[in-house]
């Protein structure tokens, strides 16, 4: 009498055993590949962390300093910080900073970056692209509320026509204005003011210098400019 094959006997046939073998091998290979990938990622992370921790030299200030302060050697120190903590634009040499002015206030220990330094200035403290000029004033009383660094609007006397914008370099006091104005020594300015007239020393865009001279009139015949102070 023939025996009836038991259930599951087909699964033990040679073809089925080969398929199971390759499935097991495929799983082993996949597991090995994932393990190798994990090792590579971990190694890359460790290398990046080591690079971020490597020390770099930066310039820091040794005390709280106000905006406009001209930096000296005594104001600066070299510190080492992890490269990953270095701010963008951090300066690394004291010589590159000495003599430059701060664009804003800075606190002790703060890293000096290029954005914290005011743009380099030309002769007599005039920004590049501007020229210094002495403006005779039609409204000398305005000197009582003007100081160096103020931004002012220069207007033609009589018509009120806008001539240019300017930055005040030097303003005489009310007393000195009444006695002949401030001295322009060392400023290298183009002056249209007579020696006895009160004058305001300003920096104007180089492209506007000829417009200022034309607005004053031929041979200094004008009565001066009206200066309005910007808030």
Residue 82 lies in a domain: yes
Give me the residues of the chain with pLDDT under 50, please: 10-11, 175-195, 220
Residue 141 CA: distances (Å) to CA of 97, 150, 225 = 39, 16, 12
pLDDT of residue 189: 44
- Which of the listed residues 71, 89, 116 is the one where a domain comes to its end? 116
Q: What is the dihedral sign for C-alpha 166, 216, 177, 190?
A: positive
- Which of the listed residues 116, 134, 166 is the one where a domain comes to its end? 116
By CB atoms closer than 10 A (0-12, 13-18, 19+), residue 213 is middle
- Which of the listed residues 85, 116, 147 is the one where a domain comes to its end? 116
Residue 182 lies in a domain: yes
Residues 77 and 144 in one domain: no
Residues 130 and 219 in one domain: yes
pLDDT tens figures, 63-85: 999 888 889 999 999 998 888 88
Residue 146 lies in a domain: yes
Residues 143 and 74 in one domain: no
Question: Which CATH number fits the domain that encloses residue 63?
Answer: 3.90.1210.10
Residue 92 lies in a domain: yes
Residues 72 and 148 in one domain: no
Residues 153 and 212 in one domain: yes
The residue range of the domain holding 153 is 123-229
Residues 146 and 192 in one domain: yes
pLDDT of residue 121: 57
pLDDT of residue 214: 86
Residue 17 lies in a domain: no
Residue 84 lies in a domain: yes
Residues 76 and 157 in one domain: no
Residue pair 221/197 in contact by the 8 Å Cβ criterion: no
Residues 223 and 166 in one domain: yes
Residues 195 and 128 in one domain: yes
Residue 25 lies in a domain: no
Residues 108 and 148 in one domain: no
How many domains is the chain built from?
A: 2
Residues 215 and 161 in one domain: yes
């Amino acid at each position: 009498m023939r025996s009836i094959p038991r259930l599951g006997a087909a699964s033990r046939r040679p073809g089925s055993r080969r398929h199971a073998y390759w499935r097991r091998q495929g799983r082993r290979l996949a597991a090995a590949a994932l393990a190798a990938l994990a090792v590579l990622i971990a190694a890359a992370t460790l290398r990046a962390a080591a690079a971020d921790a490597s020390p770099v030299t930066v310039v820091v200030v040794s005390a709280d300093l106000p905006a406009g302060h001209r930096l000296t050697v005594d104001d600066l120190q070299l510190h080492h910080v992890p490269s990953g903590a270095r701010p963008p634009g951090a300066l690394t040499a004291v010589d590159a900073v000495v003599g430059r002015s701060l664009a804003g206030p800075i606190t002790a220990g703060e890293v000096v970056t290029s954005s914290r330094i005011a743009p380099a200035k030309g002769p007599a403290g005039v920004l590049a692209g501007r020229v210094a000029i002495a403006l005779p004033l039609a409204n000398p009383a305005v000197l009582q509320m003007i100081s160096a660094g103020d931004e002012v609007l220069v207007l033609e006397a009589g018509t009120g026509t806008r001539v240019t914008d300017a930055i005040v370099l030097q303003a005489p006091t009310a007393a000195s204005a009444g006695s002949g104005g401030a001295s322009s020594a060392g400023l290298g300015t183009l002056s249209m003011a007579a020696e006895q007239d009160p004058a305001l020393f300003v920096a104007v865009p180089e492209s506007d210098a000829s417009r200022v001279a034309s607005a004053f009139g031929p041979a200094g015949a004008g009565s001066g400019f009206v200066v309005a102070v910007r808030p």
